[in-house]
Structure 1
Amino acid sequence: MWRELRPLGRYAPSGGYRRFAWTAADADCRAWFRAQASARGLAYETDRNGNQWAWLGDPAAGGAVVTGSHLDSVPDGGAFDGPLGVVSAFAALDELRARGVRPDRPLGVVNFGDEEGARFGLACVGSRLAAGRLTAAAAHELTDADGVTLPRAMERAGHDPGGIGPDPERLARIGAFVELHVEQGVALAGTDHAVGVASAIWPHGRWRFDFRGEANHAGTTRMEDRHDPMLTYAHTVLSARKKAAQAGARATFGKVAVEPNGVNAIPSLVRGWLDSRAADEETLHTLVAAVEQAARERARRDGTAVEVTRESMTPVVDFDHALRDRLAARLGGAPLLPTGAGHDAGILSGAVPAAMLYVRNPTGVSHAPAESADEDDCAAGVRALADVLADLGGDGSSVPRSEGAA
């Protein structure tokens, strides 16, 4: 599976991947998923939001145990973030068959669309739509850098966007969702554990900062006469770094757009996107407010203006306690790990019992070509996922939903 998937969407100059939603690379990945389902005799379907499903057993029976992840990437992303969960899902079904396990409950593998949000700026679009966390009206307003709307992109890729929106009937069939993912950190590195279990996801969001100034000539405009939004932006980036470190949180300006974007021109507009995350929502909101205040104070000094727009916000996810603890016990006391990274499992956790497994990452690098996982650890992840699927799907009993679930 890795050999077939590896070249799809590969960007040679960086060695990373550019598998953006509803592009040719995404279509290749989706074709790969369908081929994997067909090779195993699984029933295949694409839902109204473009998410792909492969089924062992009849999902209409209810109480299904579903696993999977996503196949899209961030710009120049690594090979494992997302695909490891999908590849491991198919491999875990192979492992169950090799063991002679015949689950009483239907098992599903899913590829959620546009998890990274690299093209339209909003993460987890496919799962958000399915869970009702993104309205159809809001989805129709999403556009990429070229002004192409999400519905138009879906149409060009051969998918009818007319039915996008909440999918409660499909989610009602799911008794548990377990997502396997490469660890995006080093908590497992240097330990005896190849696999961990997620405890919670930090609250996180994205904010767009528009810094507006006055375009002018770079060679003739005196420094004291300038109203340069780049200065305001640069000061804000440094302030965000300092304030996040003081709060024990995360703040990153990782995307920027400049107008008119000329070497010899003072910008009229600098637009920067802030990604911020913290262990609790109060810290997160306090941090973002402090960054915004720093931007406005600097703007007054620079003679510029600042507008801040919240583009997305995901509250803290405390994974279903009963399911989480059941997985940790089934895996011999696997460590519980919190994370600052968002996932489809976190989006679904409000609608179905959800949990996550992490596979050890020796360097902790993620969202970059150097992202990695050892082959032995990946195999351990497959065996762990197969154990979990056998446990949850083997006896047909309901999965308890604890009081502490999100």
Structure 2
Amino acid sequence: MSVSERLAAIAAIGRDDARGGYSRHLLEPADLRLREWFRSTAQDLGLSVEVDGNGNLWAWWGEDRTGAVATGSHLDSVPGGGAYDGPLGVVSAFEAVAILRAEGWSPARPVVVCAFAEEEGSRFGMPCLGSRLMVGEIEPAEALRRADRDGTTLEQAWREAGLAVSSLGPDAGRLAALDVFVELHVEQGRDLEDRGLPLAVSSSILAHGRWRLSVHGEGNHAGSTPMAGRRDPVVAAAAAILAVRQVALERPAARGTVGRVSVTPNGTNVIASRVDAWLDIRGGSDAQVREQLDVTLELIRARVADEGCRLEVEEESFSSLVAFDEPLTRRVASTLGDLPAIPTGAGHDAGVLSAYLPCAMIFVRNPTGVSHAPEEAARDEDCEAGARALAAVLRELAGTPVR
């Protein structure tokens, strides 16, 4: 099969008619169907499948479980996301294995295709949840308390899916079994399109944090409350969002975004009592992100106070700047004809794992440059080139020592 054919096999799963694109969230029906697709595809390729205690999927090529070369990505999406972010990496990993099998090649050490759980963090608010749990960067009890928009906790969702709550948490044995991880991903930007190249490797991931901003005001009647006497958190939140943009524009290469807002009680003829907004900041270093946050919050607090409202801030996650393993990145780039190395502002499971084992990433050109939206794209020929490139990398890494 081609990569495009493999993507077509899951194209009907999780379509979002309201938002456009796809909404595939952890342990919801679309995610459960994709997990079954993963299992059946792996079995068709002669791979043995297992689900670890953190909900991550593993498809093994080879009987040994040590010194493995891992590849893959994730299957979940943001609300209304594109078709390629995550699934392209999993599909390409399966296709790379199929290419190598068709050539009659066998690995000298195990190869494992993986799909990490809740990479986007769209249901329970923690990006790269499955990989973070595996390496011990989030406490199981904290994860289990997290709730989705409907109030369902991770613990409830875990039990309903028939998964063992007691197995959640650090998996030192599995982590030790991995020698290297190479993640293929659609580029989230248009650097490659501008360069006229189908593929690149990644040099680094920007530092990245998420914060929940809760603006408390006074709920009241929209018709009987004079404008001058209001403490409207929606007005305060609007000013806060403009402050995020203002501070980010003052810093070269900074990112500041509010992409999710929740209004309580959310009635047309009601002055709201509370607004929750989620702030996303990314920058070239941990210190730059923290400095931008401090300045942003100072300005937000002043604007919220101007409206007679009160602000609460909760940090939901923070990911430090990632510099991918240089020897491995050079080896991957050299294997593929000296590909360029480019940075990315998007987080990935490879970024989480990079603190524990050598990791590298391969990017596939995105002609629109759009990601986390239905307009995300990749040309069929570039996807096929990516799968062939990944096959070449697996042949190189699984046939000889990593370093």
- Do the two structures share a fold, i.e. TM-score over 0.5? yes
Corresponding residue of 1:404:
none
Q: Secondary structure at the match of 2:209?
A: strand
TM score, norm. by length of structure 1? 0.96
Instruction: Supply the distance in 1 between the matched residues of 2:182 and 2:371 (Cα, whole angstroms).
Output: 21
Note the alpha carbon deviations across 1:165-206, whole angstroms, 9 max, x for none: 000100111110000000000110032421110100011010
Corresponding residue of 1:335:
340
Shift of 1:300: 2.0
Structure 2 residue 257 is matched with structure 1 residue 279: no
Corresponding residue of 1:93:
97
Corresponding residue of 1:182:
186
Instruction: Supply the distance in 2 between the matched residues of 1:272 and 1:64 (Cα, whole angstroms).
Output: 41
Shift of 1:47: 0.5
Residue type matched to 1:37 in 2? A
User: Paired residue for 2:264, among 254, 259, 264?
Assistant: 259
Corresponding residue of 2:248:
244
Structure 2 residue 176 is matched with structure 1 residue 172: yes
Q: Secondary structure at the match of 2:69?
A: strand
Query: Which stretches in structure 1 are left out of the alignment for 5+ residues?
Result: 401-406
User: Paired residue for 1:160, among 159, 164, 167?
Assistant: 164
Instruction: Supply the distance in 2 between the matched residues of 1:81 and 1:88 (Cα, whole angstroms).
Output: 12
Shift of 1:142: 1.0
Q: Structure 1 residues 84, 337: CA separation in 2 closer, same or farther (over 3 Å shift)?
A: same
Shift of 1:134: 1.1
Structure 2 residue 302 is matched with structure 1 residue 297: yes
Corresponding residue of 1:321:
326
Note the alpha carbon deviations across 1:214-255, whole angstroms, 9 max, x for none: 111111211111111111111111111121111121111111
Q: Secondary structure at the match of 2:356?
A: coil
Corresponding residue of 1:22:
27
Q: How does 1:52-201 map to 2 (within 5 A)?
A: 52-60=57-65, 62-201=66-205
Please tell me whether the aligned partners of residues 247 and 283 of structure 1 are also in contact (alpha carbons under 8 angstroms).
no
Query: Which stretches in structure 2 are left out of the alignment for 5+ residues?
Result: 1-5
Corresponding residue of 2:362:
357
Residue type matched to 2:133 in 1? L
Please tell me whether the aligned partners of residues 240 and 304 of structure 2 are also in contact (alpha carbons under 8 angstroms).
no
Instruction: Supply the distance in 2 between the matched residues of 1:341 and 1:2 (Cα, whole angstroms).
Output: 22
- Which runs of at least 4 in structure 1 moved beyond 3 Å after TM superposition? none
Please tell me whether the aligned partners of residues 186 and 362 of structure 1 are also in contact (alpha carbons under 8 angstroms).
yes
Instruction: Supply the distance in 1 between the matched residues of 2:305 and 2:186 (Cα, whole angstroms).
Output: 44
Residue type matched to 2:161 in 1? A
Instruction: Supply the distance in 1 between the matched residues of 2:304 and 2:197 (Cα, whole angstroms).
Output: 49
Instruction: Supply the distance in 1 between the matched residues of 2:132 and 2:64 (Cα, whole angstroms).
Output: 21
Shifted more, 129-138 versus 8-17: the winner is 8-17
Q: Secondary structure at the match of 1:17?
A: coil
TM score, norm. by length of structure 2? 0.97
User: Paired residue for 1:268, among 254, 257, 273?
Assistant: 273
Corresponding residue of 1:44:
49
- When the two structures are aligned, how many residues end up with a matched partner? 397
Instruction: Supply the distance in 2 between the matched residues of 1:66 and 1:183 (Cα, whole angstroms).
Output: 20
Residue type matched to 1:53 in 2? W
Please tell me whether the aligned partners of residues 69 and 179 of structure 2 are also in contact (alpha carbons under 8 angstroms).
yes
Q: Considering only aligned residues, what root-mean-square deviation do their CA atoms show, in Å?
A: 1.0
Residue type matched to 1:213 in 2? G
Residue type matched to 2:382 in 1? D
Please tell me whether the aligned partners of residues 23 and 157 of structure 1 are also in contact (alpha carbons under 8 angstroms).
no
Shift of 1:98: 2.2
Residue type matched to 2:369 in 1? G
Q: How does 1:226-245 map to 2 (within 5 A)?
A: 226-245=230-249
Shift of 1:393: 0.6
Q: Secondary structure at the match of 1:126?
A: helix
